[in-house]
Structure 1
Amino acid sequence: MTPAHRRLISTWLFVLCFMLLGMIAIGGVTRLTGSGLSIMDWQPVSGIIPPLTHAEWERLFALYQTIPQYHLQHEGFGLEGFQRIFWAEWTHRFWGRLMGLVLLVPLLWFVVRGMITRALAVRLFAFFVLGALQGAIGWFMVASGFRPNSTAVEPVRLVLHLSAALALYAAILWTAFSIRWPTPVASAPAATRLVRPLARVAVGLLCLTIIAGGFTAGTHAGFLFNTFPLMDGRLIPADYARMTPFWLNWVANRAAVQFDHRLLATLTVLSVGAVLLVGLRARGLGEQARNALLLLGWAVAIQYALGITTLLLVVPVWAGAIHQTFAAVLLGCMLYVLHCLRTPRHSPD
């Protein structure tokens, strides 16, 4: 692969990652506005066309009036109110379809022109398949919101949908990094021996924090204790372990779910601090790796501040969506650091 082809293909993959960030942001708005259940069917192809007549709008609104969310949360808000939440969900689904085209069409062109190897082509086609599967997971999540007496989707399915999106984002981003910078950038690999394990721990903690954040969103735990750092005057909420078996508290007890998210976020910040402390003092990392560490430091500080802001403001839509999206940005910064610290190995040419 020529240097020009590397720049072109990696830029294309970076655009896809940026679109995934947009998808995560739109998904956050959809969730926080209660829009996700407004479209009652899943039509991967024909669903790209929105309602074009008043009769079609009335039909869809009548269909929406049959589910519990309408009667328990939105009863009486009329066709205009339904259209507002419909457009949020339609935009979310349309953006996913658009991403599929942005991935598939250039990929076919690159394959026909012989600009990428077979191994890379197989990997990128796998990303397309995983993206389509993510759409199916999204419908699996939405369908859980049609249960009796339900106004939202099941938290476990929400976490699955978010985790799958972030896994796809991480895989595409890492591939883009490997194409743009096929060889390690650290000038002294020995300097990374201590930093790299610490960075891996930080990535693991961030992933756990994001999962806990998904349960916080899915159970609406962010609306429960809106003070920081204490929760109702206590460091650990009084009813943290009220459910049995104990593990159920981690996914269904709102007090425990929010505490876990706070704790994991704080541990993530501390782990990143350790990465910076060791990494910036190491000799021979190279300018790119050092800049990646500084970028990571700023990103984790911003995300932690966004989390506290979202909590204290009682989860407004704008803050919740930004906080959710910036979690993916922070994950990207961590992956960039890991990529800068990697050891020599074969790149996906």
Structure 2
Amino acid sequence: MSQKRSIFEEVGEAGPIDTPKATGMIDQGAKGARRGIRVWLIVLFVMVCVMIIVGGLTRLTDSGLSITEWRPVTGAIPPMSEVDWQAEFDKYKQIDQWAIDNQWMTLADFKYIYWWEWGHRQIGRVIGLVWAVGFLGFLVTKQIPTGWTGRLVLIGALGGLQGAVGWWMVASGVTSGQGMTSVASYRLATHLGLAFIILGFIAWYVLLLGRSERDLMQARRGKEDKLFSMSTGLLHMVFVQILLGAMVAGIDAGRFYTDWPLMGGQVFPPRIQTFGAWYLDPGPIQFLHRVWGYLFMIFAIVVWRRGQGSANGQTRFAFNAVMAAVVLQLVVGIATVLYAAPVEIAIVHQGLAILVWVLILRARYLSHYPIVTSIREG
């Protein structure tokens, strides 16, 4: 039965045909691959956060040199007998940390620091396994959206590099006769900095995968260039502060000056020169960490004020969250100094660094891909 034709339809014109809208491959994967990959990356994100926290506790408990060898595969198996434990303890007794600082240790004391380091390395192995299984699974089933293979490979490559950097760090403290009782602080900073870079890439990819490619392309038209640039600068500033914090932790500089806002009753602390080079001197390192923190706080306020001028509610809220986290981090940082960096407060300080890092990334993302709301929704 023929359908009625519009009076505006020309003779011979084909009638309306319902055809599915063409979408790009990355949008086609939105129902499966994008969602699945995002969940997988969220799991990796949580695991990397745990890795950073456990790594911080490993450093704060002086456990990082308890395992004196790098065995990526066989090292996953801990000592299974008292003979094995004694053999590991004997290896530890060959390094300077034991000879200078820890000759008082019994086997039971050694087991305590050994489990911290073993747990830290084990989490790293599990992260590598989760990445490999997930990536190969998506690759074999051809569910990786167009343009994402390289991004996912990057995460795995950085993870592998992190393992090598971890041993490079530990090796600096596994010495005999050189007087080294801890790892080199600049290597510790490199190790922690790379962990935050990995976390940053994962967080950024999780944010991107939370919306369709078409939505991102449309949102990019409303990019707030100045706000994006300023939040990028803020991200760089907090990264430098994280590196300085690692160097402070590497030589326990946070326990040398426990007054605030002065240091040793002075604006510029006297150099202690206990360790030699300036970057191993508790005075300059803690001073730099403090001053950079003040500069970071000032710039965070400037960026926050700029964020309040955004036309997008979620962007404004994101920068409010950044400001709140930065203020909280400043307060905890001061408490860490005043109480001589006890483990309980110091690890909260490191955990808040993760929060600040991620919140700045999210605010930066929303200034690049704003979520526009209508007047009614606003």
Contact 2:309 2:316 in 1 (8 A): no
User: Following TM superposition, by how much is the alpha carbon of 1:225 offset from its aligned partner in structure 2, in angstroms?
Assistant: 0.6
Letter in 1 for 2:349: H
User: Following TM superposition, by how much is the alpha carbon of 1:63 offset from its aligned partner in structure 2, in angstroms?
Assistant: 1.0
2:246 is aligned with 1:214: yes
User: Following TM superposition, by how much is the alpha carbon of 1:90 offset from its aligned partner in structure 2, in angstroms?
Assistant: 0.2
Aligned residue in 1 for 2:334: 308
1:131 alignment partner, one of 154, 159, 165:
159
2:132 is aligned with 1:104: yes
Structure 2 residues without counterparts, runs of 5 or longer? 1-25, 371-378
User: Following TM superposition, by how much is the alpha carbon of 1:185 offset from its aligned partner in structure 2, in angstroms?
Assistant: 8.6
Aligned residue in 1 for 2:30: 3
Task: Work out which structure has the larger RCO, using CA pairs closer than 8 Å and 6 or more positions apart in sequence.
Answer: 1
Contact 2:41 2:206 in 1 (8 A): yes
User: Following TM superposition, by how much is the alpha carbon of 1:253 offset from its aligned partner in structure 2, in angstroms?
Assistant: 2.4
2:79 is aligned with 1:51: yes
2:222 is aligned with 1:189: yes
Mapping of 1:104-183 within 5 angstroms? Answer: 104-117=132-145, 119-147=147-175, 148-181=178-211, 182=213, 183=216
Encode CA deviations 1:17-38: one digit per residue, 9 max, x unaligned: 1211111111111111110000
Contact 1:145 1:151 in 2 (8 A): yes
Letter in 2 for 1:294: N
Encode CA deviations 1:107-154: one digit per residue, 9 max, x unaligned: 111112222135312321231122111111111110110232111001
Distance 2:109 2:148 in 1: 46
User: TM-score, with normalisation over the residues of structure 1?
Assistant: 0.90
Distance 1:67 1:239 in 2: 29
3-state secondary structure, aligned to 1:195: helix
Of 95-104 and 228-237, the range deviating more from structure 2:
228-237
Encode CA deviations 1:299-334: one digit per residue, 9 max, x unaligned: 111211221111111111122222123212211111
User: Following TM superposition, by how much is the alpha carbon of 1:240 offset from its aligned partner in structure 2, in angstroms?
Assistant: 9.1
3-state secondary structure, aligned to 1:108: helix
2:258 is aligned with 1:226: yes
Distance 2:91 2:262 in 1: 44
3-state secondary structure, aligned to 1:315: coil
User: TM-score, with normalisation over the residues of structure 2?
Assistant: 0.84
Encode CA deviations 1:154-191: one digit per residue, 9 max, x unaligned: 1111111111111111112112212213417969836x
Aligned residue in 1 for 2:53: 25
Distance 1:242 1:280 in 2: 47
Aligned residue in 2 for 1:347: none
Aligned residue in 1 for 2:9: none
Q: How big is the alpha-carbon RMSD for the aligned residues of Structure 1 and Structure 2?
A: 2.3
Contact 1:184 1:342 in 2 (8 A): no
User: Following TM superposition, by how much is the alpha carbon of 1:8 offset from its aligned partner in structure 2, in angstroms?
Assistant: 2.7
2:347 alignment partner, one of 321, 324, 336:
321
Distance 1:118 1:278 in 2: 35
Distance 2:69 2:275 in 1: 35
Aligned residue in 2 for 1:237: 269
User: Following TM superposition, by how much is the alpha carbon of 1:14 offset from its aligned partner in structure 2, in angstroms?
Assistant: 2.0
Encode CA deviations 1:280-306: one digit per residue, 9 max, x unaligned: 133x2x232122112111211121122
User: Following TM superposition, by how much is the alpha carbon of 1:4 offset from its aligned partner in structure 2, in angstroms?
Assistant: 3.1
- Residue 172 and residue 277 in structure 1: after superposition, are their counterparts in 2 closer, same or farther (change >3 A)? same
Letter in 2 for 1:189: G
Of 286-295 and 50-59, the range deviating more from structure 2:
286-295
Structure 1 residues without counterparts, runs of 5 or longer? 345-349
2:116 is aligned with 1:83: no
Distance 2:273 2:128 in 1: 43
Distance 1:240 1:35 in 2: 26
Aligned residue in 2 for 1:338: 364
Distance 1:29 1:131 in 2: 20
Aligned residue in 1 for 2:319: 293
Distance 1:142 1:187 in 2: 44
Contact 2:225 2:368 in 1 (8 A): no
Letter in 1 for 2:195: A
Distance 1:225 1:55 in 2: 43
Structure whose alpha-carbon radius of gyration is higher? 2
Encode CA deviations 1:43-95: one digit per residue, 9 max, x unaligned: 10111111111110011111111111112111122100000000000000000
- Residue 242 and residue 236 in structure 1: after superposition, are their counterparts in 2 closer, same or farther (change >3 A)? farther
Of 291-300 and 135-144, the range deviating more from structure 2:
291-300
Of 111-120 and 14-23, the range deviating more from structure 2:
111-120
Letter in 2 for 1:3: A
Question: Displaced runs of 4+ in structure 1, greater than 4 A?
Answer: 184-188, 240-244
Letter in 2 for 1:108: L
